[in-house]
Structure 1
Amino acid sequence: MKRKVIVIGIGAGNPDYVTVQAINALNQVSVFFIPNKGTGKAALARLRREICERYIRGREYRMVDFDTPDRKKPSSDYSQGIEAWRDEVEQVYERLLIEELGDDEEGAFLVWGDPSIYDGTLRILDKIRSRGNFELEYDVIPGISSVQALAARHKVALNRIGESIMITTGRKLADGFPNNVDSVTVMLDAQNAFKSVDGEIDIHWGAYVGTDDEILVTGKLREVCDEIERLRNAAREKHGWIMDSYILTKPEAFGEE
């Protein structure tokens, strides 16, 4: 038994971010696996469907909805908790590939942003393949990540000349602004870790970047952090979910030739 899958990066939420390569991939897929993450995130599943309806022309395909396991509340061992949750997701994915995908069909998972940045789909497929219950082949189509979209909307660069780019999480930022960089991009910050950062720091923040619901804030961190927290809370209350990220920089990090 052989199964083939394409992991397609569909961008940061704006259908215009879907690349030509992704559109070509969409038009060769037979089965799309659409995750159901609860009523609060129904808009995410709906947008996946809208992208398919917009770009797929002249061919038949089907969509398979599936429920994703709920993540347990954070434990003292964060990594162990994530691994346990991914084990459950792997079982769901493996069942889908066995039961819903025929030998002559090609399946697809539509991943927000870029599949290589803070997404577990590739690791999950690698683990399924390593178990060897069936032959699994997959390709990856890159997408425009929220990080790229955020920088573009704020008209800034992620780095300065001769320095590296750092992308981290709110969990890591809570330990303090990294000592060896002047600019850091932060994703997955559910606890407003930016409020604990001291010093003269600028922030470029965005939520739902590129969509009709986009919110952008830029300024001195100490001056706008409370406003960002208020906007985050209001947006989550309104939509039931939020996708946001931000860039923190020391004042001299941008504008250098």
Structure 2
Amino acid sequence: MRTLLVIGIGTGNPEHMTIQAIRALNTADVVFALDKGRAKADLVDLRREICTRYLTEKPYRFVEAQDPERDRNPADYGATVEAWHAARAAVYEAMIARELDPEGCGAILVWGDPSLYDSTLRIVDRILARGTLDLAVRVIPGITSVQALAAGHRIPLNRIGGPITITTGRQIAGGLPEGADATVVMLDGRPRFDHLDPDLTIYWGAFLGTPDEILVSGRLGDVAAEIGDLREAARTRHGWIMDTYLLRPPEPT
């Protein structure tokens, strides 16, 4: 039976790789990656760098395929994502069947951690549900952007005894959840803050854990414009951006 490793690799710093992840990676015969195009070539390049640095115990092959396109501003978000996942599953299934021996071990390197706002495990479940390939799947956790954000700002995510909400930019378009004490926002492709309380404290970070890391914190009303400017400049410079932020209401008096 083929084995498929789904390995969390952290947020862009090769040193985010855990010892468990390195040991698992060194059992892989083939590493699979999806090419997102020239603008995001850095994402594949990092995966290659990780393999070159850490996959030292046996020969391996690095196999790429074109990532299926998807509409970034769909009328029906759920249906669009479902179709994209199905297309990705078909690509991965074809790669695994073609490139991995029946008793071989393959690996998919996942940005951050496979359990948090990543589609890879859902896509693997689609492959398993089809029943065409026999796969034994192992998941190795990684450092998330949420952890890297807190480390970068040198803060705990939660206040004493307080809850943490982890959500997406799409979900706070109408404001923060009622009673939210600490809200971490991910996957916010077009952040806007004008509908939020300007007295919130924001801890924002982009390219977390890497030499290109950018960190801004302060009263939202004071730093929102600065964050917008920095974000657009970084996107223009790199061709892509991954950022995360934490919002907190003022300390209770």
TM-score range normalised by the length of the shorter chain: over 0.9
Aligned equivalents of 1:58 and 1:184: distance in 2? 42
Aligned to 1:145: 144
Contact in 2 for aligned 1:149/1:209 (Cα 8 Å): yes
SS of equivalent to 1:242: coil
Contact in 1 for aligned 2:8/2:114 (Cα 8 Å): yes
Matched, 1:98 2:108: no
Amino acid across the alignment from 1:221: L
Aligned to 2:167: 168
Matched, 1:65 2:64: yes
Deviation at 1:137, TM superposition (A): 1.4
Contact in 1 for aligned 2:22/2:54 (Cα 8 Å): yes
Aligned to 2:237: 238
Deviation at 1:34, TM superposition (A): 1.9
SS of equivalent to 2:193: helix
Amino acid across the alignment from 2:47: R
Aligned to 2:17: 18
- Pairing of 1:1-257 with structure 2 (within 5 A): 2-252=1-251
Please, what TM-score do these two structures have when normalized by structure 1? Answer: 0.95
Question: After superposition, what is the alpha-carbon deviation per residue over 1:195-241, rounded to whole angstroms, capped at 9, x for unaligned?
Answer: 42124200000000111111000010010000100111010000000
Deviation at 1:194, TM superposition (A): 3.0
Question: After superposition, what is the alpha-carbon deviation per residue over 1:40-78, rounded to whole angstroms, capped at 9, x for unaligned?
Answer: 010111111111111122311111011100112422221
How many residues in Structure 1 have an aligned counterpart in Structure 2? Answer: 253
Aligned equivalents of 2:226 and 2:4: distance in 1? 43
Aligned equivalents of 2:27 and 2:195: distance in 1? 47
Aligned equivalents of 1:12 and 1:196: distance in 2? 29
Deviation at 1:252, TM superposition (A): 1.5
Amino acid across the alignment from 2:174: D
Aligned equivalents of 1:23 and 1:47: distance in 2? 15
Contact in 2 for aligned 1:30/1:107 (Cα 8 Å): yes
Aligned equivalents of 2:135 and 2:54: distance in 1? 26
Gaps of 5+ in 1: none
Amino acid across the alignment from 1:3: R
Gaps of 5+ in 2: none
Contact in 2 for aligned 1:7/1:108 (Cα 8 Å): yes
Question: After superposition, what is the alpha-carbon deviation per residue over 1:110-159, rounded to whole angstroms, capped at 9, x for unaligned?
Answer: 00010100100001111110111121210000000011000111011111
Residues 1:198 and 1:24: Cα distance change in structure 2 (over 3 Å):
same
Deviation at 1:180, TM superposition (A): 2.1
Aligned equivalents of 1:80 and 1:158: distance in 2? 33
Contact in 1 for aligned 2:86/2:126 (Cα 8 Å): no
Amino acid across the alignment from 1:98: A
* RMSD of Structure 2 on Structure 1 (CA): 1.4
Runs of 4+ in 1 over 3 A off after TM superposition: none
Aligned equivalents of 1:163 and 1:153: distance in 2? 21
Deviation at 1:190, TM superposition (A): 1.1
